[in-house]
Amino acid sequence: MRVMLAEDSTLLREGLVRLLAEEGHRVEAAVGDGDALIAAVAAGPPDVVVVDVRMPPSHTDEGLRAALEIRRRWPGVGVLVLSQYVEKRYAAELITADTAGVGYLLKDRVAQVDEFLDALERVGAGGAAFDPEVVRRLLAAHGAQGDPLARLTPRERDVLDTMAQGHTNASIAAHLHISQSAVEKHVNAIFDKLDLSHATGYSRRVLAVLRYLGS
């Protein structure tokens, strides 16, 4: 897979370059700010970009704004965002625009190499990968507003939490140690309670739920 990195920490950037190369991926650019990333993508779009949220010059949201621009200008390029924190507003904007080929992980997850590589592969394949903590924060923020999520049972919230991370029904069943038919039952109940029962298909299902979360 062809990958480009944007990370201002030289140590982390070089570590990711080495890790990805060892896993057989081709790192076509490794830069330290959002502008350099956009320039590299414009010169030859990769399969996936991995981008830090806070980068020079202001160390606020340059990386995330670059990710959003890449999504707008090159929708076929997967975007995996890394962040030290859950940036709720931008996270919701990124993942509710279109969940095809999008991921958002906290940096702590990079240390769990298998999870990071699994997320990268899913994003590169056009799927979604969201950090469980990001999803929990978005769910909590939305639930605090007194919305229909309050009608979900604890198990249905577990299923929705895992589903919003980009997992398939089979993967949700494995994570929660329940049968796939039970997952399907919970998913149908979730859509009924959130008035999303007409959403069909895996990608449309996740997109509908995340759009709801970001509404």
Q: What is the dihedral of CA 205, 208, 214, 215, to 10 degrees?
A: -160
148-214 topology per CATH: Arc Repressor Mutant, subunit A (1.10.10)
User: Which tens digits make up the pLDDT trace of 28-37?
Assistant: 999 999 999 9
Q: Which CATH architecture has domain 2-143?
A: 3-Layer(aba) Sandwich (3.40)
Q: What is the per-residue pLDDT across 92-147, written as a single tens digit (0 to 9) for each?
A: 666 666 667 888 888 887 778 888 998 899 899 888 888 877 766 666 655 555 56
Q: How far apart are CA 102 and CA 136, in angstroms?
A: 17
Please name every residue paired with 158 in a beta bridge, in sequence order, or none if there are none. none
Domain ranges of the chain: 2-143, 148-214
Q: What is the model's pTM?
A: 0.68
Q: What's the CA dihedral at 202, 214, 139, 204 to 10 degrees? A: -10
